[in-house]
Amino acid sequence: PCTDIIIEKKIARVFVGSMDSNPLVAGKGVQILREHGIYVETGILEEECLKLNEVFYHYITTKTLFVVMKYAMTLDGKIACATGDSKWVTGEIARAQVHRMRGRYRGIMVGIGTVLADDPMLNVRLEGKKSPVRIICDSMLRIPLDSQICQTAGRYRTIVAYAGEKGNAICLEEKKHSLEKLGVVLLSVPSEKGEINLQLLMR
């Protein structure tokens, strides 16, 4: 559509940052513009443009999800006090950045250990930003029904990935039913040594 508008508005010169790596459209717009006598120069600040669209380019070139790992650590390599009672090892600026990241990406994933230890919400607390889909890796379905994640599953899309072949079948079915009633989407993923297979989960 933008190619047609450029031609219609008789724009004489076009500068392109990075080419679309999607093989369905790559280079076609530039070719059409040039055929209409429009001067086109490509590769303007290409590296910066690729960085700006890194999620899109990663998917188009690899057909896999773009994953960002986030954790907070002290200078001496700790993520919590020995007692486990520490709340934050970061400052206000870092915490605001976390919420900007949550608003930028489509999903946020944690393990059941984080849910049991911190009872987090995993939503975005910045105005005008949409909260990501919450994904919990919980091979044995230990997530408490009264956790903030479960209690707000009707408000924020929530997926709990579990290892379908594990645990007592009757208890598992009861827990699954209770979670689904709260709005949790359950995803059975094969396990590897008792843990969710993350590569299969990503697919």
Distance CA 57, CA 71 (A): 25
| pLDDT above 90 coverage of the chain, percent | 51
15: which residues sit within 8 A by CB, 6+ positions away? 40, 41, 44
Q: For position 143, what pLDDT does the model report? A: 96
Provide the pLDDT confidence category of residue 165 given band limits of 50, 70 and 90: low
Instruction: Inform me whether the pLDDT recorded for 166 exceeds 60.
Output: no
Mean of pLDDT over the chain: 88
What is the distance in angstroms between the CA of the first residue and the CA of the last residue of the chain? 32
Contact between residue 136 and residue 160 where contact means Cβ atoms under 8 Å apart: yes
98, burial (CB in 10 Å: exposed 0-12, middle 13-18, buried 19+)? middle
Task: Choose between 175 and 26: higher pLDDT.
Answer: 175
